Amino acid sequence: MSISNLKKSRRIENRLPVAWEGIPFIVIGFIITVILFFVGLYSLACLTFIITIFVVYFFRDPDRIIQTDENSVLAPADGKILNVQLLENECHLFNGPAFKISIFMSIFNVHVNRIPFGGRVEKMSYTPGKFFSANLDKASEQNERNEITIKMKNGRRILFVQIAGLIARRIVCWLKDEDEVVKGQRFGLIRFGSRVDLYLPGDSEIIVTPRMKVKAGETVLGYL
């Protein structure tokens, strides 16, 4: 296995309580705290310690109990449902209506993203953009984003989009085209507050409503 594939596998199958991307920030924070303490800058040491503890909290990566129902679609992100919309002809992936489910992640949510439904990564598309607050509707079209299309075994497709927010300036995705993915597996994260939009075929059964809180890889959003 190549070094890049080893790193990718280590992140997807993470056994640490925090995401690997957070480790450099955590280590640097503790080193700075120790240095400040030993030079007698106790107030600054306390401040950097508190900040470091928050970084640990932000990058936490808890295990999840993955739902195994064959037709269930899982939440790709932790957070709050912003809206559930039925789009008539506004999603390029479907020849007909599609549901759009938007999930907002605050800085207090787990930010590790998970696959909502298994299949093969058919296409990935990164688009640079702006950094409006992720809870605004225009964030879907104007913010920096990363689109991932999954083709299922039956030939149908779903689309989910990682969207950067006002504070988030770094989208991380460990997938590439043609990867085989399974429901609930980790696939990336977005740093410091963001949003994920999920597009499903219009004949899906949606069981969530706006303002509901969901957990990535654990909460069922609906059924195909």
Whether residue 43 lies in the annotated active site? no
Identify the active-site residue in 9, 72, 133, 194. 194
DSSP letter string over the chain? --HHHHHHHHHHT--SSB-GGGHHHHHHHHHHHHHHHHTT-HHHHHHHHHHHHHHHHHTB---------TTEEE-SSSEEEEEEEEESS--TT-SS-EEEEEEEE-TTS--EEE-SS-EEEEEEEEE--B---TTSTTHHHHB-EEEEEEE-TTS-EEEEEEEE-SS---EEE---TT-EE-TT-EEEEESSSEEEEEEEETT-EE---TT-EE-TTTSEEEE-
Active site residues: 194
